[in-house]
Amino acid sequence: MATLAEIIELVKEMPEGYLDETLTKIKEIKEKAEAEEKATEKTCAECGSAKIVCNGHKHKKQSYICRECGKSFIQTSKSAIEGSHSSATVWKQVIRDTVEGVALDKTAEMLNLHHETVFNMRHKILYCIEQSLTEKPTKLAGTCETDETYVLESEKGRKFGENHHRAPRKHGAKASKPGISGEYVCVCASVTGAGEQVAVSVNRASPDGQEILGVFGERVSEETVVLCDGKQSYNVLADKCTVAVANRINKVNGFHSFIKRRLDAMRGVATIFLNRYNALFSKIYAADISAAVDDIFQLMLSPDGRNNTIAFTQSANLLSL
């Protein structure tokens, strides 16, 4: 996506005929977007009634009034992006870049935004996804492959004090001890044959039975068949579902590889934010990108009270191990 300055320069260089044609196309796109917005079923942000009508504009956004309760609101009222100065187009682009793993600085440059602004927008997106999966956990139906992978603990973005428990590491550095130790954070993951997946971190090093139960206990049912590599900790699920040992669990290993590729591309993420990224990876793995972007944008728009301050978004539900 070009920045505003680049678009202006392109317009200056356009022949007059091309400029007129471009303006016509832009108008058509705008009219189509407005028609799609009107066609989308809307409900009152206060009482949920569908008896709403247009009520002018507020802050350059369409305003509505409810015939039931008399309250007026705009499309983003009580949503995760309420009060945002960025347009829906900008939010969709930040969501797309988040889904595709585009670097923050590149997104900021393309949209002519400050790095910190894009960082805050990305964490609003991640927090919204994490909350949606917390409110409605993914159920593991049918046969699912379950295993854990490990990522190096990270305090990226934090300055260490004199008495910190370890020295700072450079990006790409390895753990000080060989094998799986307390320096690694465990990511418990599962992938179903129906294309659903779960990734959650609850501990350091290898998980015990109670930690396995905490991640998967409420997600499985009597119809679930859990295929694992034979780790005894998974037997804790035997009272809730069928647990079996499999020689090959390639689907979940593929999910592990996807997680590690994305984390490597970002040169790691701070461990306190790891479960937010796990939620993102769970939602987008093997998904159609455009469909995932639209789905996440609708989550951001839903009037379910997810609106909160930047400070809250960056401090709530952090992973502490």
Structural element, H or E, at residue 61: strand 61-66
> With contact defined as beta carbons under 8 Å apart, do 147 and 245 qualify?
no
Q: What is the DSSP letter of 315?
A: T
pLDDT on residue 62: 76
Q: Helix or strand or coil: residue 176? A: coil
Measured CA to CA, the distance from residue 268 to residue 158 in angstroms comes to: 13
Measured CA to CA, the distance from residue 121 to residue 125 in angstroms comes to: 6
pLDDT on residue 2: 53
Torsion of CA 303, 305, 308, 312, to 10 degrees: -140
Q: How many helices and strands (H and E) does the chain possess?
A: 10, 8
Give pTM, 2 decimals. 0.80
125 to 3, 66, 80, 213, 233: CA distances (angstroms)? 22, 28, 8, 28, 34
Beta-carbon contacts of residue 184 (< 8 Å; ≥ 6 apart):
150, 151, 152, 153, 175, 204, 205
pLDDT on residue 162: 75
Both structure tokens of 219: 């997600």
- Structural domains in the chain, sorted by start: 87-157+180-321 (3.30.420)
Q: Helix or strand or coil: residue 307? A: coil
307 to 108, 124, 192, 297, 312: CA distances (angstroms)? 23, 9, 32, 14, 10
Q: How many CB atoms lie within 10 A of CB 16?
A: 7
Per-residue DSSP letters for 193-221? TTS-EEEEEEEESS--HHHHHHHHTTT--
- Alpha carbons within 13 A on the beta-carbon side of 244: 13
Tell me the per-residue pLDDT of 238-259, one tens digit each, with 9 for 90 and over: 999 999 999 889 999 999 999 9
pLDDT on residue 59: 67
Residues of the chain short of pLDDT 70, as ranges, are: 1-8, 11, 16-17, 19, 29-41, 45, 59-60, 305
Measured CA to CA, the distance from residue 184 to residue 153 in angstroms comes to: 5
pLDDT on residue 305: 61
Task: Please provide residue 168's backbone torsions phi and psi, each rounded to the nearest 5 degrees.
Answer: -60, 150
pLDDT on residue 151: 93
Beta-carbon contacts of residue 218 (< 8 Å; ≥ 6 apart):
137
Give the end-to-end CA distance of the chain in Å, rounded to a whole number.
39
pLDDT on residue 38: 53
Per-residue DSSP letters for 93-153? HHHHHHHHT--HHHHHHHHT--HHHHHHHHHHHHHHHHHHHHHSPPP--SEEEEEEEEEE-
